[in-house]
Amino acid sequence: MFSSAEGALARARQNGRTEGLSLLLFTVVSWGLNWPALKLVLHYLPPFSMRTVTALAAGIIVMVLALIRGERLSLPHGIWRRLLVVSFLNYTSWLGFVSLALVWLPATVAVIITYTMPVWAVGLAWPLLGERPRPSHLIGVLLALGGVAAALGGGMRPLTPHALPGAACALAAAVLFALGSVLTKRAPLALPPFASVGWQILLGVAPIAVLAALFEHPDFSALPGPDWLVLGYTSIVALVFSYLSWFRALRLLPASVATTATLLVPVVGVFSSGILLGETLGAGKLLALGLTVAGVALALRR
């Protein structure tokens, strides 16, 4: 009986690992594919309007799922200030700066620069969390910076007038998102997981919606019929189901496995953008991708 129980436990662990790896693969691929999807939709819609539609849809869906799970949506007293700060860092900055970066840069370049964010998280964790970086972490920072330089120098030759502003937006998204992650680790929000994500999405998209209303005049009728499916993908799959599968994978797998797997997101993003958008994949971009992935891998070492 004891061996039978051990066998059942081993099978349960194996099934959990298989499920976790499957969900992790889905997350990595869907996040990677979101880069060419966003770039495609931005051919027809202005960035803030596009992000307002996708994030509002995602936020509402997550809130409905939170209610289905029985989570309370009410906010504890005294949480508003931290919630607004984290929402701005994790969602407003990401939604806004990534969209602007994609307007000005090829998706293959934007994804490489943006996915330096784990490197900046390591650097910010030192003053904010007291986590002193190792020499390998510092080498990772240098490699990631080399990846950014290679992405611009080798991936956009000659440099376009908007290359540097686009790179600045991609870096801003990476650094601010990293800051939001570190602050969340330092002082986690006292909210259930789905309600926390839903509130952050809806509060984070509010400034984006204001900018869209003030400065943009979107023509949604200009979006071709098939691209409405792409718009739906960016809001439902990339912003909802991918995060749900990510959180489930984190519960089933070691954090080191899940975190390291995110190194594949820029790889999927670069190659899918090359295939789906016809963006060139020259030696400069491949070098930039290699340097960035290597730098992030060193930054994630414990």
Closest CA to 151 of 299, 281, 298, 300: 281
Q: If phi over 0 gives left and psi between -120 and 50 gives alpha, with beta otherwise, what is residue 160?
A: beta
Q: What is the pLDDT of residue 3?
A: 56
Q: What is the pLDDT of residue 5?
A: 54
Cα(first)–Cα(last) distance of the chain, in Å?
40
Contact criterion met (CB below 8 Å) for 297 and 136: no
Residues in the chain: 302
Contact criterion met (CB below 8 Å) for 58 and 239: yes
Burial class (CB in 10 A: 0-12, 13-18, 19+), 302: exposed
Along the 302 residues of the chain, how does pLDDT read in single tens digits?
445 655 555 555 666 678 888 988 899 899 999 999 999 999 999 999 999 999 999 999 999 999 999 999 999 888 999 999 999 998 999 999 999 999 999 998 899 899 888 788 877 877 877 777 777 777 877 888 788 777 776 555 555 666 889 999 999 999 998 888 888 778 888 888 889 889 999 999 999 999 999 999 999 999 998 899 999 999 999 988 888 888 788 778 776 566 667 778 888 999 999 999 998 888 878 888 888 888 877 776 66
Helices 47-68 and 193-215: crossing angle, nearest 10°? 160
Q: What is the pLDDT of residue 243?
A: 80
